[in-house]
Amino acid sequence: MPDDAFAPRDWDSHPPLIAPDYKSTRLRGPTQPLLRVGQGPGERSGPRFDAGQLDPLQADLTRNGRVNGEPLGERIVLTGRVVDERGHPVPGTLVEIWQANAAGRYVHTGDRHDAPLDPNFTGAGHAVTDGDGRYTFRSVKPGAYPWGNHHNAWRPNHIHVSVLGPALATRLVTQMYFPGDPLLEHDPIFLATPAAARPRLIAEFSLDVTEPGIALGYVFDIVLRGGHATPGEG
Amino acid sequence: MAQTPSQTVGPFFAYALAPRQYGYPLPQLAGSTLCGETAAGERIWLAGRVFDGAGAPIDDALIELWQADAEGRYRAAPGAPGDNARDPDFTGFGRCGTGTDPQQRFAFRTVKPGAPDAASAPHLSLVVFMRGLLSHLYTRVYFDDEAAANARDAVLAQVPADRRDTLIARRAASPEGPVYRFDIHMQGDRETVFFDV
């Protein structure tokens, strides 16, 4: 393994590829074990996007979809740090988010949930982490919505989060949930995650991040694979 | 610190991750065309479908493509060491969903990559996402007209011989130029080899 290889995916942290209670996995998760091979230059490198290439407006989902007013819903500030397993910040990496609106409806044309669209909310945004690995979005809290997995199935409030990280090997797509959501214990996607790792998917409410009179604050730190050893570290 | 768990990309990623392809008026950071007019190398298409365990084509998968340029160089971060060496008209990164083609195909317009090092044949790296996939998957696309290079590729050598074929794209002519066809099978007799890299 080259010196600049990334630590492997920790399968005690990630859900299995077939989790029968989440029905769609049954025909879509591969049945053969993943083949463990070394990382080539293509896995140790990866796409980059600089802050200068992006429109800062796209980090504010309360503004980037406005047509004739403000989006409805409970305003939130979502912030956190992207770090590696050593706790070192991952600066300058792309974080993309997407979510349902406050009524639990996605802009996606395939979403047939009978809940209103919000003409002033798209629910998509992106940002690049700063030198400390920090990202910050403004949005509204997404609503829960029903889905067809089983009778009376509802997804908990969640925001989809995509992170590139420093290399293809560190790619991560996840979902961030909200503390105290009673739907979590009924959600087969959340529950597919090993129990010990589930708390890492739940944001923390923070009064420090909360902006007085404006928006509730949530903190969601993201830990990516590996990180290179630096001289002097054991 | 322990890794943040993966979760599925879900069915509704398109307006965020591939908005232009799907017709949403939102900014798109990466699409299915990786090369500009002046990029060096042979222009190729990579096209295929993604099949589930029942043999049905999947219409809500997202494929990410990362590759070296025609000289085998991966694009480094702007300003980073090695950045001067890359082809300025080639991003190396693309995204394509399977939800806009009537036959559920993905199709990338790119250049055929060079071999990145002596131990590797020319190849493309794919990352596969979809509803029902709780963690993204990595696979590689090799080329059927690179048999000699494939024979010395260190990763292909670790793939059981009877499954190597799942990683080989087939070249065909088309009115739009050469197409490499590469289908992805999530399960079944032809299940694609996915890597834990």
| Banded pLDDT at A2 (limits 50, 70, 90) | low
Q: What does the pLDDT read at residue A145? A: 98
Would you call B152 helix, strand, or coil by DSSP?
coil
Range B146-157 average pLDDT: 97
Cβ <8 Å between A83 and B196: no
Q: What are residue A231's DSSP bridge partners?
A: none
The answer to whether residue A227 scores a pLDDT higher than 80 is no
Residue A24 C-alpha, separation from nearest chain B C-alpha, in angstroms: 4
CA–CA dist A135, A80 (Å, integer): 6
In a domain, A112, yes or no: yes
Contact predicate B24/B13, CB 8 Å: no
- Segment A180-194, tens digit of pLDDT: 999 999 999 999 999
Please, which residues have CB within 8 angstroms of residue B188's CB and are 6 or more apart in sequence? B51, B53, B55
Number of domains in chain A: 1
In a domain, A10, yes or no: no
Q: What does the pLDDT read at residue A5? A: 87
- Segment B104-119, tens digit of pLDDT: 999 999 999 999 999 9
Range B76-100 average pLDDT: 73
In a domain, A195, yes or no: yes
Q: Which of A194, A212, A114, A149 is nearest to A21 (CA)?
A: A149
Q: What does the pLDDT read at residue A149? A: 98
Neighbours of B54 (CB within 10 A): 11
Burial B163-183, CB ≥16 within 10 A → b, else e: ebebbbbeeeeeeeeebbbbb
- Segment A140-167, tens digit of pLDDT: 999 999 999 999 999 999 999 999 999 9
Cβ <8 Å between A40 and B155: yes
DSSP per residue, B22-36 = HT-SS--S--SB-B-
Residue B84 C-alpha, separation from nearest chain A C-alpha, in angstroms: 15
In a domain, A22, yes or no: no
Q: A176: domain range? A: 49-224
Domain locations along chain B: 14-185
State the complex-level ipTM: 0.96
Q: What does the pLDDT read at residue B85? A: 53
A77 or A229: whose pLDDT is higher?
A77
In a domain, A110, yes or no: yes
In a domain, A146, yes or no: yes
Q: Which of B8, B50, B13, B11 is nearest to B135 (CA)?
A: B8
Q: Which helix (H) or strand (E) holds B149?
A: helix B147-151
CATH architecture of B14-185: Sandwich (2.60)
Would you call A217 helix, strand, or coil by DSSP?
strand
Domain of A67: which CATH number? 2.60.130.10
Q: Provide the whole-model pTM.
A: 0.96
Range B55-72 average pLDDT: 97
* Structure-token match 């923070």, residue found: A206
Would you call A173 helix, strand, or coil by DSSP?
strand
* A7 phi, psi to nearest 5 deg: -60, 150
The answer to whether residue A231 scores a pLDDT higher than 80 is no
- Segment A12-43, tens digit of pLDDT: 999 999 999 999 999 999 999 999 998 999 99
| Banded pLDDT at B75 (limits 50, 70, 90) | confident
Q: What does the pLDDT read at residue A121? A: 98
| Banded pLDDT at B90 (limits 50, 70, 90) | confident
**DSSP code, position A207:** E
Neighbours of A141 (CB within 10 A): 19
Q: Which residues of A are catalytic?
A: 106, 145, 155, 158, 160
Residues 192-221 of A with CB under 8 A from B: 192-194, 197-198, 200-201, 221
Chain Cα centroid distance, residue B164:
17
Would you call A3 helix, strand, or coil by DSSP?
coil
| Banded pLDDT at A232 (limits 50, 70, 90) | very low
Residues 42-101 of B with CB under 8 A from A: 52-54, 58, 60, 64, 66-68, 74-78, 91-93, 99
Q: Which amino acid is at B173?
A: A
Q: For chain A, report the end-to-end CA distance as a whole number of angstroms.
A: 18
| Banded pLDDT at A233 (limits 50, 70, 90) | very low
CA–CA dist B6, A175 (Å, integer): 8
Residues 61-100 of A with CB under 8 A from B: 83-87, 92, 94, 96-98
Cβ <8 Å between B16 and A160: yes
The answer to whether residue A111 scores a pLDDT higher than 90 is yes
- Segment A43-73, tens digit of pLDDT: 999 998 888 889 999 999 999 999 999 999 9
Q: Based on the number of CB atoms within 10 Å of its own CB, is A179 exposed (0-12), middle (13-18) or buried (19 or more)?
A: exposed
Residue-averaged pLDDT of chain A: 94
Q: Where are the alpha helices (DSSP H) in chain A?
A: 25-28, 41-44, 188-191
